[in-house]
Structure 1
Amino acid sequence: MKSLSLAIVLPLSLIALSVNQAVANSAIDTENTQKFAGETIVITATRYQQDVDKIPGAITVITEDDIAKQISISDDLTSVLANLVPSMTPSRQKLSNQGENLRGRTALILVDGVPQNNPLRNGNRYGYPVDSSTLERIEVVNGASAVHGMGATGGLINYITMSAKEGDNFKQTIGLRINDSFSSDSTSTKTWYNLRHFDEQFDIVAAASWHDQGIYYDGNGHPIGMNSIQGETQDSTATNFFLKTGVNFGEQRLEFSTNHYELESNNNYVPIKGNFNDGIVGTVEKGASTGEPISNQVEAYNINYSHDNLADGGLTVQFFYQEFDAIYGEASWRATPTVIRDQGIITSTKKGVKLAYSQIDLLNLDDSWVFGIDVLDDSTQQRLVATGLGVTPEMSYLGVSPFAQGDILVNDALRLTGGLRYETTTVDVENDQTLYSYGLYDEDGNPHGQVDIIGGEQDFNELVFNLGAVYELTDEMNVFAGFNQGFGLPDIGRVLRGNWIGDQGQPLNGDINIDFNTMPAVKPVVTDNYEIGLNYTDDQWRVTASTYYSLAKDGANLSLNSGGTYDVVRQRTEITGAEFTAKYQLNEQLSLQALYSTIKGEVDSNSDGSVDSDMDLKNISPDRFMFAANFDATDNVSTRIQVNTLMDSENNDKEQQFDGYTLVDASIKYDLQKYGRLTFAVENVMDKFYVGYFSQIRKHPSYYFSGKGRNYSLSYEFNF
């Protein structure tokens, strides 16, 4: 085993000594113990401010301090979620978030309530919509929800950007972080800056960041392979510009915000494929790929108006506009009989309105209510960069959804919640043709290139609802039960682009044309989520435990085909699972944290109405356990150590097997007071070699990668 350097032993030793001291002092420090029993207010779950303990479901709130601790180890939002959200699948450490799901289904990603997912063509590039340095908190609703509309069949993840606060008098912050594994070209550098000002009439936040990432190395000291098509965060440069400004006039407020995020490959390396059967992981070598650099670009604008006392209620109106562009690497698209290679690009434009009017105590039962309407307009197409040919036709989505949500206190112990949302959706598809390689075979087995796509319009209407109850057993403990429905669309673009035939395939009998107007595969997916659980909160403990059952009678899953790609398959899907999270504040100095998740999914593979086969492991996470200790050694020194264990899992039907692993991370922060803050962190302290979850179950040489080995991080931040 490799010897650990002093840089690793020192923080771990400090943490161990600190824990021992804290335990010894716990008996005399109880009077000063930090209390958990204060209110934790969230807005994502209900569309109005609500104490998390009054919501009949599992909610994860990731605070600004939680985010800071995680990104000091690995500045990757998908890793933050994977570490702190129980049923989130492991981070792939890639630009693509394919296979990163919540409770076995799709999570709707929001930034300040604005949807980031593309409802018509899921390019799996919505995991990085904003830089971590602009975030104030992350609110996660675990389980299906329709409160924010289409797409949350697995839950909601709302990134909430920073705001100026009282005391910010043109406060400025500048930061620098260097990551390195001390191998060739492994250095990553990030700088960030923000300005915040607050007074009673006017506030502003302006922020910018620049993040240049080097090559990742695994626990064996080898460069980690790259996905030349889907894209990478390693060997890339990301920039982010953010502005939020607001004006208050009486009980009204007008706010404008904009964010521009772009990540682009540096194009210094080309991949060397691995070999799954022989257990050889992919790697890279120096070189430059042809074509445009792989990139992601998200540009968003928001206007928010609020009136806190309009007819004894509160009105909020949000207007948003977003442009999204994702360029993929060169691949063998075979767009025509003579043009073989090209790059794909997905472009999407979203605009919409979210209007909500809330009131409290309409029934004098400590009740809260919100009524509103959401409008979302989305236009999306996937096409090729060089030839300009459409991989999918031009598609547009219009959703108009009125809703109502509320809760009432029936008696001193029982609170009931409920809501309705009527989803009216129109999808328009233009006439087009498939690419040559996505045609169909005729009855004689001859390929028909560039098959006609018959466009048209389909309308979908669905009433979805939620019901729940929270019963307070004691001042510290309550139990809850909830039923929630989620509404989503399958990957319509993937269905419309046809079936890949390449140079060989199986004949497909029937009509050669692809007719959108008669396709059952594009119908919406309604997911029913049943959940029971408990919350316990006192001066030292915060515990949540729940178990759930999720049913999609006509689910849309990705199933691996014989050609190595995924098809959309409509089938009954049932998912069961359990989650446990706990925080324990032993004394002022030491707090402990733990979470556990187990999940199992089954599908109806023969369409007889009953599930009979395990779900493809790509859709669900392995059972996992996380333990962490936070220790404030002094007023100026704080430390954290976290241990993440992913357990073995298998799917015999798909011949998928995952060999689990355990990773240890550690960090130590020193507050220099007026001279700034210094943080040293180590990712994968033990330099464990492992193959990532997605790589193991994908079983494809282009996706077979090891995970990140030991990586050091040094951060400095200064206010002035």
Structure 2
Amino acid sequence: MASSVVVALAPAVNAQKPITDIQLLETEAGLKIQLISPVAIADVTETVEGNQLIIEILNAQLDGILEQSLLSEPNRGIASVSFSQQPNNILRLIIEGSRFAPFVDVITDGTGLVVQILPDDLEDEDLELIVTATRTEEEPDKVPRSVTVISSEEIESQTALNSNLSTILGKLVPGLSTGTETSSNFGQTLRGRNISVLIDGVPQSTNRNAQRDLRTIDPSAIERVEIIRGPSALYGDGATGGIINIITKSGAGQPFVSRTEIGTKFSLTELDNSFGYTLSQSISGSEDKLSYAASGSLTTSNNLYDSNGDLIPPTPTLQGGLGDVETLNLAAKIGYDISETQNIQFNFNYYNDSQDSDLGLTFQNFFPTLERATAIPGLELPDQPDTENIVLNFAYTNKDILGSRLDGQLYYRDYSTRFYPFAQPVNSPPFNFLPIQSEVESEKIGGRLDIETPLSKDESLEVLWGVDYDYEDTSQPVDIFDPAAVFFSNGLVFNPVGISILSPPLQQSELGLFAQLNWDVSDSFNISGGIRQEFIGIELDDFTTILGADVGGGALDYDATLFNVGAVYAFNDEVSLFGNFSQGFSVADVARVLRTAAPGFNVEDLRPEAQKVDSYELGIRGNWDKFQASLTGFYSFSNLGSTFGTTSLLDIVRDPLRVYGLEADLRAQVSNQVALGGTLTLTQGERDTDFDGDFDTDSSSFVIPPLKLTGFVEFSPTDKWQNRFQVNIVGDRDAEANGVIFQSVDGYVTADLISQYETDFGTFQLGIENIFNTDYFPITAQAFGGFNQYAGQGTTVSLKYGFDW
């Protein structure tokens, strides 16, 4: 049944063509705007500005109605509809799309004018589809597991505070621990286990895991991020905690759109040398069968300061930091419709993170210490930490090939990351340490093939089947420095004296075969389940460790059979219950363990079993007009671990691990101007260290984060001015510390403010991070205290201006 909004009446005015009524109708065909007039209306012009379609009706006057907005809140891809009287008898109608200007049909008749917003565009905007959870397009409410989708609007809002994707997702995604505030996501887990990061389906991990997965693309190139919480049997190695799939931007639904953004960021606790800058440019469009999107961004950071105005080391954990960093990202996506059912798409992404700083760690921080990390000037390091990531991705879709849908993908990834130097203990007086700096280099090529075949005429029963394959070649060379120069310079001067290898070069191949059945039993009940067979092979030659031990090479073979089954039951259009069992699969970081192997050790002496995780979850979610909420309980178990030890980061923990907890997410639109919401993440985990069946040892805070609560209030005084105040609460956690690493966590509370104002000549953004200047240490700085504790940033201000042209 159609519904209408009729504006109030006011005294009539004289008009050449009087408009006596304007209605916004919602019909099965979509939104329709009806202008009522006793005479025909024919003089109409259309123009596009950004995501607004402006329709002007000549020789027309409002007769007895007031100017106003017809849409109280976004609906079916349309953000607003308004009309106003302009000089010279011009009536202006503005239709603003949520993402881009809509397409319309303008129909004139004897009763006035009808503006019909085309249904195809409405469907694309209104029907949110995800691809990560099921490897094919699916509505989120039909997926029998926990899914979070972060839109480009949410990402854009958070970049007013911080452009680090690890930090952004940590504040928005339940189940994901807070960001590390470094260039590494080492220690940022999802449901207490490892994450697998994809960019348009291309894996960003390496078998010698460098943990830079969330620093491989700039947020300005991202359309949305889909997060699957919990392991997935539909994907391969590494997704034991969940999947983060980054979807890059595609061509806009209009011929040409261009956007430019500039900004700056600085510390309020110490202005000196704290100013950083950002510049980004994007273009996109579509014309006939071709669509395109391209973007480039350059971001620089300077000194970072804590709440006391003290310098935060640019490389606080030897893993990599965010101070004195220049980040360049170039991205492009081109799509072409071969026919109504066939499409090809090519993606390119280039990312480079490079540090250039004269600040180094003190000699005490260069070695493991529990003291507060400090930085001093005078660093002399020939090659500073950096990351380079190149991704080439080709995709082909055929929606009807012998009655099935086929999605194919081929990709290539070239990746490298350089760490800060660290001290390798050696028995070589007088210094007994060897300063080394390593670099992980990886080349990966692979492909995916998905075929979706209906098994019933009404397509209520379908099977998705296919194959994945990738091959990766990885090495970790090191530069060796003069220990005397490092010692007498207090850890600042690094003079190269040789090269070696830290972790041995290895080749890894992965083959996965899968089939997934989906059955819509009824309109309210859906069941899905499937199987995946995984094969992983690792090969490496004989090598000599950096400590001089000869190690025999060889081959390791891993295989696993993974299952999943889940169901969704919808009580009504708003509330649904879901349950899911799924298995994940992970191979330990073999190369990291072998770097300290004893003389005479052989690769094939390693225990070949991979980690298999059994995961269970049960949840309920509701979606009403102005209120959305979800609550999920989960439990996962693995007989074998693949995490690092409590006394040495070079060992692999193989003891059983169980993780369980609760997650909640809610949002309420209190009024047209006010919205509020938040998330809850409560995770617990224990290990069975003596294999006696009793889980009597707390898993470290490095793996199991403390309680996380987030909350926000959004206030929009006008359509053009939006504000968001958000808090991030981290609880205390007492962990059993069996060594110097993985300490307990003292909780903290931080708050941020985001304000955005839209004008006729662009959008202004103000972001204030840690607005109350809380003095705190990030979770990983405390849990990872053995490599010194680094403070979080004090109050930091960001200013940004963007405009379309």
TM-score, length-scaled by structure 1: 0.88
SS of alignment partner, residue 239 of structure 1 = strand
Provide the secondary structure at the position in 1 that maps to 2:158: helix
| Code of the aligned partner of 1:638 | Q
1:492 aligned to 2:590? Answer: yes
Which structure 1 residue ranges, 5 or more long, are not aligned? 1-28, 437-449, 500-510
The structure where helix makes up a greater share of residues is: 1
Partner residue in 2 for 1:705: 790
- Measured in 1, the distance between the counterparts of 2:393 and 2:754 equals 36
Residues 542-581 of structure 1 mapped to structure 2, 5 A cutoff: 542-561=628-647, 565-581=649-665
Say whether residues 1:124 and 2:211 are aligned partners. yes
- Cross-structure match for 2:691: 607
Q: Please tell me whether the aligned partners of residues 613 and 638 of structure 2 are also in contact (alpha carbons under 8 angstroms).
A: yes
Say whether the 8 Å CA contact 1:296–1:325 is kept in structure 2: yes
How much does 1:31 deviate? 9.3
Counterpart among 396, 407, 432 of residue 543 in structure 2: 432
Aligned to 1:507: none
2:435 counterpart residue number:
341
Q: Distance in 1 between the 2:643 and 2:371 partners? A: 29
Asked whether 1:97 is paired with 2:179, we answer no
Say whether residues 1:392 and 2:503 are aligned partners. yes
Shift of 1:337: 5.6
One-letter amino acid of the counterpart of residue 170, structure 1: F
Q: Deviations over 1:77-129 (max 9, x none)?
A: 001111011121221111122111111100000000000011x2112222201
Tell me, in whole angstroms, the C-alpha distance in 1 between the residues paired with 2:726 and 2:352: 31
The equivalent residue for 1:266 is: 356
Q: Does the aligned pair in 2 maintain the 1:195–1:207 contact within 8 Å?
A: yes
In the alignment, which residue of structure 2 is the partner of 1:453?
551
| Aligned mates of 2:653, 2:350 — CA distance in 1 | 35
- Return the match for 1:320 from 411, 414, 420: 411
Aligned to 1:216: 304
Q: Matches of 1:653 and 1:269 in 2, distance apart?
A: 32
Larger CA deviation: 44-53 vs 221-230? 221-230
Q: Does the CA contact (< 8 Å) of 2:330 and 2:349 recur in 1? A: yes
State the match for 1:230 in structure 2.
319
In structure 2, relative to structure 1, the CA distance for the partners of 1:424 and 1:215 (3 Å cut) is same
**Count of aligned pairs:** 661
CA contact (8 A) 1:39 1:52 kept: no
Tell me whether 1:624 sits opposite 2:722 in the alignment. no
Deviation at 1:153, TM superposition (A): 0.2
How many angstroms apart in 2 are the aligned matches of 1:481 and 1:577? 15
Residue of structure 2 in register with 1:246 after alignment:
335
Pairwise mapping of residues 29-44 of structure 1 onto structure 2 (< 5 A)?
32=72, 39-44=127-132
User: Could you say what secondary structure the match of 1:65 adopts?
Assistant: helix
Secondary structure of residue in 1 paired with 2:134: coil
Contact persistence 2:260–2:802 (CA under 8 A): yes
Q: Is the 8 A contact 1:34 1:540 kept in 2?
A: no
Whole-angstrom CA distance in 2 between matches of 1:686 and 1:394? 48
Alpha-carbon distance in structure 2 between the residues aligned to 1:359 and 1:672: 49
1:360: Cα distance to partner? Answer: 4.2
Quickly say closer, same or farther: Cα 1:279–1:616, change in 2 above 3 A.
closer
Q: Which amino acid aligns with 2:327?
A: A
More deviation in 384-393 or 644-653? 384-393
SS at match of 1:598: strand
Aligned: 1:377 with 2:464: no
3-state SS of the aligned residue for 1:68? helix
Match of 2:615 in 1: 529
For 1:299, give the aligned amino acid. I
- Alpha-carbon distance between aligned partners in 2 of 1:35 and 1:582, rounded to the nearest angstrom: 20
Code of the residue aligned with 1:48 in structure 2: it is T
- CA displacement at 1:369 relative to structure 2: 3.0
Deviation, 1:276, is 12
8 Å contact from structure 1 (residues 243, 259) kept in 2: yes
Residue identity opposite 2:778 in structure 1? G
AA aligned opposite 1:248: D
Amino acid at match of 1:245: I
Q: Give distance in 2, aligned partners of 1:383 and 1:576.
A: 39
How far residue 197 of structure 1 moved from its aligned partner, in angstroms, is: 2.0
User: What is the CA–CA distance in structure 2 between the aligned matches of 1:537 and 1:421, rounded to whole Å?
Assistant: 32
Which amino acid is the alignment partner of residue 254 of structure 1? I
Q: Distance in 2 between matches of 1:278 and 1:568?
A: 22
Shifted more, 49-58 versus 387-396: the winner is 387-396
Candidates 513, 521, 524, aligned match of 1:402: 513
Aligned with 2:159: secondary structure? helix
Describe the SS at the equivalent of 1:348. strand
Deviations 1:57-96 (A, max 9, x none): 1101000111011111111100111101112122111112
Q: Does 1:142 align with 2:250?
A: no
Q: Which amino acid aligns with 1:212?
A: T
2:629·2:664 contact (CA, 8 Å) conserved in 1? yes
How far apart are residue 653 of structure 1 and its match?
A: 4.4
1:524-554 CA-to-partner distances (Å, cap 9, x unmatched) read 1111110001011111111111000010111
Match of 1:477 in 2: 575
For residue 283 of structure 1, the aligned residue among 360, 367, 374 is 374
The secondary structure found in structure 2 opposite 1:196 is: strand
User: Is the contact made by 1:33 and 1:539 (CA closer than 8 Å) also made in structure 2?
Assistant: no
1:4 maps to what in 2? none
* Superposition pairs of residues 77-116 of structure 1, within 5 angstroms: 77-116=165-204
Encode CA deviations 1:112-168: one digit per residue, 9 max, x unaligned.
0000011x211222220111110010000000113221110000001110001211x
Larger relative contact order (CA 8 Å, sep ≥ 6)? 1
2:773 match: 687
Provide closer, same or farther for how the CA distance between residues 407 and 180 of structure 1 changes in structure 2, counting only shifts above 3 A. Answer: same
Residue 764 (structure 2) aligns with: 678
CA distance in 1, matches of 2:70, 2:576: 24
Q: Could you tell me how far apart the structure 2 residues matched to 1:616 and 1:489 are?
A: 20
Alpha-carbon contact 1:275-1:282 (below 8 Å) kept:
no
SS at match of 1:41: coil
CA distance in structure 2 between the partners assigned to 1:33 and 1:292 by the alignment = 53
Asked whether the equivalents of residues 36 and 542 of structure 1 are also in contact (C-alpha less than 8 Å), the reply is: no
Local SS of the residue matching 1:514: coil
Q: Distance in 2 between matches of 1:547 and 1:36?
A: 32
Paired residue secondary structure (2:617): strand
Task: Pick from 604, 608, 615 the counterpart of residue 517 of structure 1.
Answer: 604
Which residue matches 2:162? 74
Classify the secondary structure of the residue corresponding to 1:389: strand
Residue identity opposite 2:357 in structure 1: N
Q: Distance in 2 between matches of 1:694 and 1:381?
A: 27
Local SS of the residue matching 2:718: coil
Q: Quick check: 640-649 or 602-611, which moved more? A: 602-611
Could you give the per-residue CA deviations for residues 617-660 of structure 1, whole angstroms, max 9, x where no partner exists? 10121111111112222111111110110011111344832110
Per-residue deviation at 1:267?
Answer: 2.0
Cα distance, 1:36 vs structure 2: 10
Who is 2:452 aligned against?
Answer: 358
- Per-residue deviation at 1:388? 3.4
Alignment partner for residue 461 of structure 2, among 335, 354, 367? 367
Comparing 610-619 and 131-140, the one that deviates more? 610-619
- Do the aligned residues in 1 keep the contact of 2:369 with 2:788 (CA within 8 Å)? no
Shift of residue 279 of structure 1? 7.7
Max radius of gyration: which structure?
Answer: 2
